[in-house]
Structure 1
Amino acid sequence: MPPVVREEPARDQAPGVSVAVLRELQSLQGTGDQILDALVPRARLLQLEAGQQLLRRGEPNLRVYIVVSGLLRVELDDSPLAHIERGETVGELSLLAGSAATATVAAEERTQLLVLDEETFWWLAESSHEFSVGLLVRLAKRLRSNNDAVQENIALRRQFEQAALSDPLTGFRNRRWLDQTLPRIIQRHLHASEPLCIAMMDIDHFKQVNDAYGHAAGDAVLLQVGRLVRANLRPADFAARVGGEEFVLVFPQTSMPGAISAAERLREAIAGAAFDYDGGALPQVTVSLGLVELERSANPLELLARADGALYAAKQSGRNRTEWPGRDGSGPKLNPDR
């Protein structure tokens, strides 16, 4: 980030600035020549090159700047908010509030500024009714404009954050969302002593579909699997696509028997569905699932590793299958009511 411009020591007058030039500036229009004559020796000039900063958000400011020539850019979190043109002022909000600058201001191009220190600013405001009224009008407009820009910026940021946490193809949450959210889900269930199950699901022989029919056909399979997942999970359940053909299913407030029933219902729905692409039928698509239940000592990485191990067992057992701890022994049975 470019350094804040350090101003030169104040001079006895602002060289190159005449009453005629000041009279043309929007913020000083209507101010009498006598006041402008007295302003010239009180004010001074500051010149910025393109890209140099005038104000930095969060840093103190006790000056008001009037743009004599050039253009300033107002930024919030590196996002442009507005531009300040010739004759307009900047810095008055922080000076009036006695607070730090609320945004960063930098030169869009080579810019010349008239600098009013705090004492000069208040002298001008008391001496010129026109300057004071114009300042109030500009402040009201700027506050309104800044508020609209901030709200738009917040909305855009939320959209970007939403996009960053979602898989663009299926619309499911992605791995980043899972990494951020699963620890909170686990802690909530542990705190409430409620059951929680996680399933790792993988589309069987997905690479063969891509190799034989192309990646567009593979995307069509992913979309159709996604629709079947949505149709067969409860509204309270979560699904995240965490790899090419790999998904994580989260079953909140669900013990192992209920999760087994949910996983098997989904597996059977996918195995029984007809898949197609571009008007032609595709081979049967099946999925394998590895299902585990939350334990008191588990953390997200351990839970996902156990689910991945169960998924591997399902693949090794022939695919199109759901595996869970104790399936072939004294483990939980299916719950037909889930």
Structure 2
Amino acid sequence: MAASIPATRPADSLPITRFNSVVVRFRRLATTGLIAALGAHLAFVVLFWLLDVWLLVAFNVFSVMLYALCLTGMRFPVLRPVTLVLAWLEIIAHAGIATLALGAASGFHYLLLALVPLVYIDPRGHSLTRLVGLLVLTGLFAGLELISILHDPWFPLAEKTLTWLRVGNGILCFAALGTLINVYARTSRQSERDLRNMAATDLLTGLRNRRSLTDEARLLAAERQSEARQLAVILVDLDHFKQLNDRYGHAFGDQVLADTARLMNRTMRPSDSVARWGGEEFLILLTDADLDRAICVAERVRESIAAQTFRSDEGQTLSITATLGVTEWRGNEEFEASVSRADDALYLGKKNGRDRVEVAKP
């Protein structure tokens, strides 16, 4: 089934797409974190070589190779969960071994704090998993502190050196926490915007829904009190749409609705609004437009709809017409009253033969 206008995204894919966008952002964050970790461990190789702590030199060489492997694994969806688990385990092992080797005064156990946001930032995580992850990290952090008190470090360093290490690890931890929290905040704000858009959008056509346009009309009604703006309403109904649905199927009918919606949306000015009003009905709200302009717009929309062509599964070329009811939104009347008048005009247009623009009687 093909149409003369490219298909819109299916309605049921929109929530999935928005969820996937969150997952994609999380994956990009994880990849960026792996690159940063690889660079940090390269620096640690040089640092511990200068400090003559060969155990940590060897461990960080191993970590560099592990992160390089993890970056390769991130390219394959099936390997990503394993890759992230390996990165987690490396951070925990690095914090533990470095703390045992140099003592808690070196601050390497601070690295565990950077994992706390990751417990919550994954959109696929569960409450119990997050609680267990937080308890495990808390236990490891406290345990490393206690072990350092009870046992001397394997490689004692000068106090000044330990201070610089602690300050550096603290800065590293704060940078990681700040980055993660910033990404999480941005993702949350984007998710809120997506939810607001979903609540105001008809998922099939991508147009505003009835509730959204009604809310906008009420705002315009308040504005026109002081600005004396002219407003007009056009109600659009596709002719014989039920027969088209019954003959060619609902999937084809949905495609006709989606393509027609896109066509009307392109016809309007940025200041005008188009909404799916219900079923095969659409409502156009024109701002700064008198009745003559509204009639011109309605005729242009009617002609554009009639010019569309669609191809059915049987290879038959089809077109569809529309009947439109036009009225001015008068003075201080309720928006619903003008819509009702446009609906009366639309009914009269249907009665008079369809495929026409009918103007509401004064």
Same fold (TM over 0.5): yes
Pick one of 179, 189, 193 that aligns with 2:214: 179
Aligned equivalent of 1:209: 244
Tell me how far 1:319 sits from its aligned partner. 2.4
* Partner Cα separation in structure 1 for residue 214 and residue 98 of structure 2: 52
Aligned equivalent of 1:263: 298
Aligned CA distance change for structure 1 residues 143 and 224 (closer, same or farther; 3 Å): closer
Pick one of 213, 219, 228 that aligns with 2:254: 219
Aligned equivalent of 1:237: 272
**Contact residue 344 and residue 360 of structure 2 kept, 8 A:** no
* Partner Cα separation in structure 2 for residue 26 and residue 301 of structure 1: 71
Tell me how far 1:160 sits from its aligned partner. 4.2
**Contact residue 74 and residue 80 of structure 1 kept, 8 A:** no
Tell me how far 1:258 sits from its aligned partner. 0.9
Q: Per the alignment, in what secondary structure is the counterpart of residue 242 of structure 1?
A: strand
Tell me how far 1:228 sits from its aligned partner. 3.7
Tell me how far 1:142 sits from its aligned partner. 0.8
Determine what percentage of the aligned residue pairs are the same residue: 30
Aligned CA distance change for structure 1 residues 74 and 24 (closer, same or farther; 3 Å): closer
Aligned equivalent of 2:286: 251
**Contact residue 203 and residue 246 of structure 1 kept, 8 A:** yes
Aligned equivalent of 1:141: 176
Q: Per the alignment, in what secondary structure is the counterpart of residue 229 of structure 1?
A: helix
Tell me how far 1:213 sits from its aligned partner. 1.4
* Partner Cα separation in structure 1 for residue 293 and residue 123 of structure 2: 48
**Contact residue 27 and residue 135 of structure 1 kept, 8 A:** no
Aligned equivalent of 1:280: 316
Tell me how far 1:229 sits from its aligned partner. 1.9
* Partner Cα separation in structure 1 for residue 278 and residue 214 of structure 2: 13
Q: Per the alignment, in what secondary structure is the counterpart of residue 336 of structure 2?
A: helix
Q: Per the alignment, in what secondary structure is the counterpart of residue 221 of structure 1?
A: helix
Residue 325 in structure 1 maps to residue 342 in structure 2 = no
Q: CA RMSD in A?
A: 4.3
Tell me how far 1:197 sits from its aligned partner. 0.7
What letter corresponds to residue 281 of structure 1 in structure 2? Answer: T
What letter corresponds to residue 242 of structure 2 in structure 1? Answer: K
* Partner Cα separation in structure 2 for residue 143 and residue 170 of structure 1: 40
**Contact residue 201 and residue 288 of structure 1 kept, 8 A:** yes
* Partner Cα separation in structure 2 for residue 26 and residue 193 of structure 1: 74
**Contact residue 73 and residue 80 of structure 1 kept, 8 A:** no
* Partner Cα separation in structure 2 for residue 165 and residue 265 of structure 1: 26
Q: Would you tell me which structure has more strand in proportion to its own residues?
A: 1
Aligned equivalent of 1:58: none
- Residue by residue over 1:211-233, the C-alpha shift from the partner in whole angstroms, topping out at 9 and shown as x without a partner, is 01111221232244234424543
**Contact residue 28 and residue 131 of structure 1 kept, 8 A:** no
Which one scores higher on RCO, CA 8 angstroms, separation ≥ 6? 2
* Structure 2 portions without partners, runs of 5+: 1-93, 142-148, 150-161
**Contact residue 189 and residue 253 of structure 1 kept, 8 A:** no
- Residue by residue over 1:292-332, the C-alpha shift from the partner in whole angstroms, topping out at 9 and shown as x without a partner, is 22223223333333333332333333322323332xxxx5x
* Partner Cα separation in structure 1 for residue 260 and residue 293 of structure 2: 21
Q: Would you tell me which structure has more helix in proportion to its own residues?
A: 2
What letter corresponds to residue 242 of structure 1 in structure 2? Answer: W
Bigger shift: residues 142-151 or 165-174: 165-174
What letter corresponds to residue 306 of structure 2 in structure 1? Answer: A
Q: Per the alignment, in what secondary structure is the counterpart of residue 201 of structure 1?
A: strand
Tell me how far 1:31 sits from its aligned partner. 7.1
**Contact residue 236 and residue 325 of structure 2 kept, 8 A:** yes
Residue 293 in structure 1 maps to residue 328 in structure 2 = yes
* Structure 1 portions without partners, runs of 5+: 1-22, 37-63, 86-104, 117-123, 332-338
Residue 170 in structure 1 maps to residue 205 in structure 2 = yes
Report how many residues are paired.
246
Aligned CA distance change for structure 1 residues 235 and 132 (closer, same or farther; 3 Å): closer
Q: Per the alignment, in what secondary structure is the counterpart of residue 138 of structure 2?
A: strand
Tell me how far 1:162 sits from its aligned partner. 3.1
Tell me how far 1:134 sits from its aligned partner. 2.7
**Contact residue 198 and residue 249 of structure 1 kept, 8 A:** yes
**Contact residue 234 and residue 342 of structure 2 kept, 8 A:** yes
Aligned equivalent of 1:198: 233
